[in-house]
Structure 1
Amino acid sequence: MNSTYEITGGIVVRRWRTMFQWFGRLQIMHKIILIFLPLIFIPLFISGYLSSYNFSQSTIQNMEQSALDESKLIVSQLDSIISNAENSANFIATDINRIIVSSPEQRDSIQELRFRRQIQSKLSTDLILFPDVDSAIFIDRNNHIHTSYSRINEHEQKVFDSGMIEQVIQAGSYGINRWFRMEQRNFMVSDSTIPVLTLGKVVIDVDSGNKLGTLFINVKETTFSSFLGADKNQDISKAYLLVDSNENIISSSNPEYLLEPFDYLEVKRPLTFLNEPYSEIVNRAHGREFITVYPYDRMGWSLVNMNPMTALKSMISHNVWMTVAIGLVCLLLALLGITLLSKIIVNPLLQLAKSMRRVKDGDLSVTAAIRTQDEMGLLASVFNLMIDRIKQLIVTVENEQRRKREYELALMHAQIKPHFLYNTLDTIYVLTDMDRMDEARDTTKALADFYRIVLSKGYEIITLEEEMKIVNDYLSIMQVRYPHILQYDIAIPDELKGVNIPKLSLQPLAENAIYHGLKTKDSSGFIRIRARSDREQVIIEVEDNGVGMSPQLVSRITDFKEDPAKRKSIGIFSVHERLKLYFGDIYGIHIESKEGRGTTVKLILPNNYNKGEHYV
């Protein structure tokens, strides 16, 4: 026995020795962290657990009380509807009694027609006083059916085979109401698609005691479901259900549950419908729910409130995150103490490691601010030299990529020009052949002015006033080519004419508006070019009233990262990329379009851009 204890004790001693050796090899900061972290997190864990438990219990109690209060309010609304329906039955029965007593028992055809119209009119007008009641039906002792609604369908005679009249008669004499279950039927209803709750009542002559007929009052299911929906500020999955004594759902804000047995909700444990309110947590196929059952004894119904536990989980999660936030604050305070302790011992090494981590994350603006003459100073100087060389290489690569993009854009720029020249020369030829010399002269002058600016050497960035001259020359030429489909208007404020813009930025947009917006339109079209200032930006709008584009096509055109082989518009892509190249990524093109109404292309520029030294 002693030898066993000695072996076990030796193993424990060796393990402790190994742990102390490992602890001795750690850095000082790590040692301090290992000592302080348990002292912080263990109390935080215990307090967080107790706080979450108490908070969850309190939240469940609040949810239960809130559900009971809401259920009580809804039941009072239900009771009001039921009372209104019964009051309407008494009121209508009295009016019918008065009409029948005042009418002769033997009536000719005209008197019978007048009698039927009088009954129908009284049924419909009486219901105005009871908005919760949808319709009323009176069946007299001659089995004539009178309704509050004008259209009587061919199924109304089914009432005589349904047994409803007999059940009302069996219920008792005058003053006794017979409620039928919620059902969907095609007779004695104004709308056969909506289930109704029906009240039956015998109409008796108050003087003689003779039976005059049977009255039925219908209340639509939608009258109940209208106030069973979840509140707008609550979770949309919260629901109220009305369940009858047979545990069938007779009303719900979700039509899917209507007239289904309660088992349809896939509650994994049957509910106990008692005569007093109660709450419990049940399991459904898609998760746990907090259910409150509130009885409505007058009709033998139960109001069931189903509230997913996601709301409770969300509140508990919020409480947990608050605890975690407090823990993080404590941790930051501990780290501050650790930093003060390690400032003299390991601060230079930590500074160098921090700089390296920032470089790893992509920040090359960092330098190691260590000026000592020891080994750490040597490491810092070598590190700073390496960063400087990396930045020089990056600048060199970026300049090469920039020049490459300029060449590619210049190539695309050139690709969109020749077809315009060919088409315009054809137009001039046709005008000359038709002896329309003035138009041919003006078109030739506009073409010369257009290419004088487009092909001129020098700055790629020009003023907005010069760019508008290019667009005006282009549109005047296109108006000669398409006089019946093109009208245009250019309006630029004087204070914006000096704004800088890449040359030939608006012409591709005007060209797209003509060929893809107006040319395919059956009637004459209009292009409007406007410019306005919005703080530090200038927004130029090229608007047409052409055929417009679908959202899918707009998305494809503005997907500037798409494969060039699949790109939808080279001209728009070229303009967008040039704007980003010269002004930055926040500038470019934005397109708004509606099919059949037209398209607006917005070109966004800086308001205070310096022209610089950009050459073609």
Structure 2
Amino acid sequence: MKNNKFISFAISTFNNISIKSKIFIFYAGILLASLSIFAILTINISNQAIVEKVTKNAERELSLIDKSLLNLANNSENYARILSMDNRMQNQLERIENNELDSIDNIEVEKTLSTVISNVVQPNTNIAAASIMSSKYMFFDVGYIDNSSISRYFNRDLINSITKNKVPTWTRLFKVRYKFGGDEDVFAIAKTIIGMDTGHVLGTAVLYLKEKDVAAIYLNNIVNENDKFYIVDNQKNIISTQDKSELYRKFDEELYLGKYKLEDISDTKSLIRNIGDKKVLITVQNFDKLDWKVVSVIPLDEITYENKKMTQLILIFGVTCLICAFVASYLLSYTISKPILKLVNIMKEIKSGNLKLRADLNVKGEIGMLGDGFNSLMDKINVLVEHIYTEQRLKRENEFKLLQSQIKPHFLYNTIETIISFIKLNLKDNAMLTAKYLAGFYRISLSKGNDIITIRDEMNLIDNYLSIQKMRYVEYLDYRLEFEEEILKYQIPKLTLQPLVENSIYHGLKQKEDRGILIIKGEFENGEIKIEVFDDGVGMSEENINRVLNRLINGQKSNDFGIYSVNSRLKLLYGDEYGLSIESKESEFTRVTLRLPAIDTWG
């Protein structure tokens, strides 16, 4: 109650003050709002620009990581291929395959294999170690790896899968133990050894790549110390990250991504999330070669900290500008009040009916532009008045042409000839029934000169029309009227449905080889009247639909006026949102949908 009294008092006070004071208050308010919006937008845009820059940097870093990972993976696979194709190793494995070795030979074999392996492991490459397995699933004790720590991973099913692939195959992350103590998290790259001379499977070469070497790729790209990176496999297990205690765990999608999944934001898409009291940028990059995903987590609070100082400067600058703006608005209000009063007087005269009067303020600047704008507005109003007059005239012409096009003399002649034919054939009942339908049709068509009738009358008119047509074309025409009772009291322009029904009969069903059905359905939909005219005739092409709706053939007006007239008339009466739409499929059906506002005839 108190608020209402205060608002009423404020409005009354504002109405009673001078125009100069009103202009001052108005401009002061506008300037205050503008500067406030400017400050808010500047701060937000600045923050957004920083975030966008960080996002692009993150995406660029992930792209570089992706390329580096690809180089590392390709190099590792190439080392596996080189090792599997070494002639010395293949010769020794052939001897093992043929059982040609004694105990002394076994020592020679292990020495040869050890020499071969040394060429593809550290310090020559980034491969930590390598193992050789014979075709009989036996590891040779030739490297730094304790074979007992890996034998449980390389079971026969895995070896058979590697053999079937015939290309270097990556395993999941696992832990291996060295012969001389210590363990390491590694990825294994396994390649089947196939004899170059015999084509037989001689064994499997297994190379081990440290997780630390994989992690070094993204550790070199860390800008802020709190940035985090994860590499996740296709099972969403963490296989590489800074914090090694998180290895082998499931990536926490709920914590980092909320309602999203990793696959939802792949391909360097980014997501900003609040995790605890911190806002972070999450970016995901697919590493398609191994079906991994690289995830970066970058805190935004540290990056936007410097922007807070800029915010303080913007606020100080804004307050200074606001004080200057108040002074300027007061001077401006005094300057523009006089020509505005003159403009008000001109508007009063125009309000009395003199639409030809124009403002002549003889001033430049914004007030001059206001006068010019007012004059332009009045010119447009005059044009609009002329347009409305022309539109109303077109409306009346359309209504006249519609009546002309629908109550066609040949329909009357054809019906009378039908009645005569029935009489000649001694089908007097049919003749009387046809005459009754004809009388009912023209009785409603005339409707005492009323152009708007009820949907019930329009339905009865169409019923009479279709009854006559069915008497004439009983061999190919059947119809149903399905109108909801509650819509029958609402209004519709007279003879709206007859052109649609006639089109369905003569251009749809009559062209069909067998008997067809015509269904006219009326119902409520979303507070509007919807009437559908459906036939299962020969259908229409898109070109024909455009022709009947727009009366255009190759850019020229056609003589098909009926449906176009109905559509034009409805839009003129009720607005462009109403009228006709046509859906059709050639050789199958045509559905013409008519929409009207629900206007009670007696309302």
Tell me the TM-score normalized by structure 2.
0.46
TM-score (norm 1): 0.45
